[in-house]
Amino acid sequence: MTELLSAPAFMLWGSPVSWLELVASTLALAMVGCNMREIHWGWPLAIVSSLLYVAVFAKARIYGDASLQVFFALVAFWGWAQWLRGHRADGSALRVSRLSSRGIALTLLACALAWPAVALFLRRFTDTDVPWWDGFATGLSLVGQFLLGRKFIENWLIWLAVNVVSVGLFIHKGLWLTVGLYAVFAVLSVAGYLAWRQRMPSAGAARA
C-alpha cells in the first residue's frame, strides 16, 4: 500500500507528483473549506491529511513541516473537541472572536520565540538545507493552530504568512502540486478572514 501511494500519479513541471501528495492535497483543501464555514468535520480531515503529509515532507527533507504534521494530527483532536464543546473563559459559547490587545501581544511574542527556536533545533539536529524557512512555517503554524482551535479570527492572518512563505519553500523543494495547494491556501486565508468577520457578533468583542 505504501509503495502504491508513493508511486508517481503524474508529472508536474518535470517533477513527479505521488498519489500520496495528491490525496493529501485534496483532503487539505476540503479541510480549509470546512474551517471557513465553521464545519467541525474539517478536523478529522486535518488528521488524515496531516498524517499523509508526514511522509510527503519527510521524503523531501522538510523535517520541521513533517514533525508539524504529527503535531497537527494530535492537536486536531483537541480542536475538534473545542469546536464541539468548547467555551470561553466566561462560560459563553465558543464563537468567532477577535484577540484582545493583550492577546495580540502574546501572539506576536509567541511567533517571535517559536520561529528561531524551531529553526535552531532543525539546524542542529537535522540535515535540512532550509532551517530558517522551515522553522518560520513550523513555528508560526503552531500559533495559528491554537488560534484556529479557539476560533480567533487572527488565525487567518497567521496562516496567510505561513502559506506565502511555504510557497517559496515548496518551490525550492520541487513539490509543485503542494506549491499550488499553498498558493490556494494563501488566497483562502484572505477569504477565510472575510468569511469569519461576517460571522462575528455585532459587538465584535475581543476576548483572550
Written as nine digits, the cell of 76 is 486536531
Determine, yes or no, domain membership for 92.
Answer: no
**Kind and range of the H or E run holding 17:** strand 15-18
Q: What is the pTM of this model?
A: 0.81
R_g (Cα) of the chain, nearest Å: 17
Determine, yes or no, domain membership for 67.
Answer: yes
- For residue 10, pLDDT over 60 is answered with no
The per-residue pLDDT for range 113-161, each reduced to its tens digit, is: 999 999 998 888 877 888 898 899 989 998 999 999 999 999 999 999 9
- For residue 9, pLDDT over 80 is answered with no
Determine, yes or no, domain membership for 131.
Answer: yes
- Overall number of domains in the chain: 1
DSSP secondary-structure letter at 61?
A: T
- Find the mean pLDDT for residues 97-122: 95
Determine, yes or no, domain membership for 206.
Answer: no
Give the model's pLDDT for residue 126.
79
- Find the mean pLDDT for residues 70-75: 86
- C-alpha 36/C-alpha 86 separation (Å) is 18
The CB-side HSE value for 185 (13 A sphere, CA atoms) comes to: 27
Give the model's pLDDT for residue 184.
94
Determine, yes or no, domain membership for 24.
Answer: yes
- Find the mean pLDDT for residues 74-97: 89
Determine, yes or no, domain membership for 65.
Answer: yes
Determine, yes or no, domain membership for 91.
Answer: no
The whole domain housing 71 covers 2-8+16-85+97-199
**Kind and range of the H or E run holding 9:** strand 8-12
- For residue 193, pLDDT over 90 is answered with yes
Determine, yes or no, domain membership for 128.
Answer: yes
CB 168 within 8 A of CB 59: no
Give the model's pLDDT for residue 33.
92
* Cα end-to-end span (Å), the chain: 45
- For residue 8, pLDDT over 60 is answered with no
